[in-house]
Amino acid sequence: MSQFSHDEFDEVQPYRRDEVGKHRAAGAPAAAAGSAASSGMLKWIGLAVVAVLLIAAAGWFITRDADDDAPVAEEQDTADEGEAAETDDEAEGDGNGDEGADEGEADENGEAEEDAPASGLSDDHPVRAVNAGAPDGSASQLSSELNDLGLDVQQSIDWDFANWGTPNTPQVMYPSEEQQELAEAIAEELDIDIVSQDGSWQTIVVIVGPDYQ
């Protein structure tokens, strides 16, 4: 038996699990409030997940576009380099072709000039070199010079001092008036001042002495 007497509070029914309390205004059941809070949290979590997925997708598309653009730029650079190399090769080929053509023309001109007699000279009459006291080998050297002039050069000889005396050197002698013009042209080319006619010779002779170098 309780030590307190029975009063009006003893008539209050026991609390049910879905009741908030007798001192509060009637409201939503406790279970419903908890469910609403959980639903709100799940909604925010879902939105956060969607936002993360959108950000990840946007980053993936940007990265893919950058990767796709890079090879195109690299291929373009490679193509430009290839075209530049081809242009350089063509320019170099053209330059070498022109240079080769110029060299060929120069060689042909050089050969033509070497074969053609100098002005006033011809190979109509034979010419020979005569050594009259010049150093050994002078007649051969003079014969080479006469060959370079495009003349008809005969075998060189030595001057016979015992029978022919001592000549003035250097000198060009010719046998007849027919060879005079050619003899004078030879003397001019070799810078020889003395040109004379001597019928004892059958060819034009170019005589060199001790002063010949």
d(CA 174, CA 127): 9
Interval 187-201: pLDDT, tens: 999 999 999 999 999
Q: Identify the band that residue 164 occupies on the pLDDT scale cut at 50, 70 and 90.
A: very high
Q: How far apart are CA 183 and CA 181, in angstroms?
A: 5
* Residue with the two structure tokens 């796709």: 68
Cis bond leading into 170, ω under 30°? Answer: yes
Note the pLDDT tens digit of each residue in 89-112. Answer: 555 555 555 555 555 554 555 554
Residue 57 CA, distance from chain mean position = 50
159 φ, ψ (degrees, to nearest 5)? -70, 135
Q: Which of 138, 200, 191 is nearest to 165 (CA)?
A: 200
| Residues 43-64: tens digit of each pLDDT | 778 788 888 888 887 777 777 6
- Judged against a pLDDT cut of 90, whether residue 161 lies above it is answered with yes
| Helix (H/G/I), strand (E/B), else coil: 90 | helix
Q: Residues 187, 172: contact at Cβ < 8 Å?
A: yes
Q: Please provide the average confidence, as pLDDT, over all residues in the chain.
A: 75
> End-to-end distance of the chain based on CA atoms, in angstroms?
167
Please name the residues in contact with 35: beta carbons below 8 A apart, sequence gap of 6 or more. Answer: none
Q: Which amino acid is at 167?
A: P
Span 100-149, pLDDT tens digits: 555 555 455 555 445 444 567 999 999 999 999 999 999 999 999 999 99
